[in-house]
Amino acid sequence: MFNKLTTLFKQLLDGTDLSQNAANNPNLAIASLLCEVAGADHQIDEREQAVKRQLLKRLLNLSDDEVETLLTQAQSGVAQAASLYEFTSQLRELSQETRFELIKGMWEVAHADGDIDPLEDSVIRKTAELLYVDHREFIRAKLQVIDKS
């Protein structure tokens, strides 16, 4: 977190336009959010990695190679990102149903190891708020994932 703040301040001092910080790539933004939730508890489980891959293949209709490339780019972007806004700002134009599916996917990643850490919950909650996903839909997505297991 401290590194992200330091990067943000350096960008501000250099006069960087932070609104253009992340390229307009919705697929990369989605992958980045999935990586963000997987790493929120500082324990990246192989089951979480597998769920991320499956979700990207299903949601974005990508090949295995495309998924791996996207995840590599996303991990790099997450390490340099100052906030979730960098990713969510690119996704607000998506349909309500698509945004719901993204939140549900984030719950799937968080629950892949059988436990939803409070830090993972917090990342998903903040993402839902930034994407204007109603709290009722946020809870419905969580319950669908938990009830499925």
DSSP string, 2-56: HHHHHHHHHHHHHT--GGGSS-S-HHHHHHHHHHHHHHTTS---HHHHHHHHHHH
For residues 140-145, average pLDDT: 96
What's the confidence (pLDDT) of residue 18? 44
User: What proportion of the chain, given as a percentage, has pLDDT over 90?
Assistant: 68
Whole-number pLDDT of residue 15: 54
List all residues 6 or more positions away from 104 whose beta carbon is below 8 Å from its beta carbon: 141, 144, 145
Q: Which domains are delineated in the chain?
A: 25-147 (1.10.3680.10)
The pLDDT tens digits for 24-80 are: 799 999 999 999 999 998 887 899 999 999 999 998 999 999 999 999 999 988 988
Rounded to an integer, the average pLDDT of 80-99 is 91
